[in-house]
Amino acid sequence: MRLSDYFNRWVILGALGIAALLLVVTLILIGLTSPRTAPDVGFVPADLTMIPAPTNTVLAPPTPTLDPNVTPTLAEGVIGLGAYVQITGTGGDGLRLRSGAGLGSEQAFLGFDEEVFLVSDGPQVADGYTWWYLVAPYDETRAGWAAADFLTVVPSP
């Protein structure tokens, strides 16, 4: 047999076809498996914030602010807003708590010795007495103005 019998036209075309098919499959696999690169976004300018130079300003002293949730501390034995007081010195007759500060105001109710109240307003001076607005901590309907002469500060319950 001759070598030309093995390399005829159909064998060569078949070999070239298989080679072309392998080449196409290889290119497809390389394209599918290669990592994707992000496109170049280019230069991105940064934001710039201008801060003005400091100026000479007059520094005023800070104004203190009061926290509404904090009850101010009173000196011991001093009647003031938020203090608890007890009726004393009436000789068992009780103390007339009034609708307004002063002896001319209408009597709201009668408070008894050793009854405890919370001071919620005042002081107001009228008819020679210093008056404080008292509210019973257990019953807000028991409230009125009382003369300080018959009140003693007690610790909060």
Q: How many residues does the chain have?
A: 157
**pLDDT tens readout for residues 30-70:** 887 767 666 666 666 777 888 888 777 767 777 777 666 76
Superfamily of domain 84-154: SH3 Domains (2.30.30.40)
Q: What is the pLDDT of residue 39?
A: 62
CA–CA distance, 125 with 150 (Å, rounded to integer): 15
Residues in contact with 102: Cβ distance below 8 Å, sequence separation at least 6, in sequence order:
126, 127, 131, 145
More confident residue, 155 or 66: 155
Residue 73 has pLDDT above 70, yes or no: no
Q: What is the pLDDT of residue 71?
A: 57
Residues in contact with 91: Cβ distance below 8 Å, sequence separation at least 6, in sequence order:
none
Q: What is the pLDDT of residue 74?
A: 61
CA–CA distance, 154 with 157 (Å, rounded to integer): 9
Residue 139 has pLDDT above 80, yes or no: yes
**Buried b or exposed e, range 66-99, using 16+ CB within 10 angstroms:** eeeeeeeeeeeeebbeebbbebeeeeeeebbbbe
Are the C-beta atoms of residues 149 and 79 closer than 8 Å to each other?
no
**pLDDT tens readout for residues 75-125:** 677 898 889 999 998 988 999 999 999 999 999 999 999 999 999 998 999
- Give CA 103 to chain center in angstroms: 46
- Classify strands 139-147 and 129-136 as parallel, antiparallel or unpaired: antiparallel
In this structure, what token pair is assigned to residue 120?
């919620």
Q: What is the pLDDT of residue 72?
A: 57
CA–CA distance, 97 with 103 (Å, rounded to integer): 10
Average pLDDT, the chain: 84
* pLDDT band at residue 6 using 50, 70 and 90 as cut-offs: confident
Average pLDDT value for residue range 146-151: 93
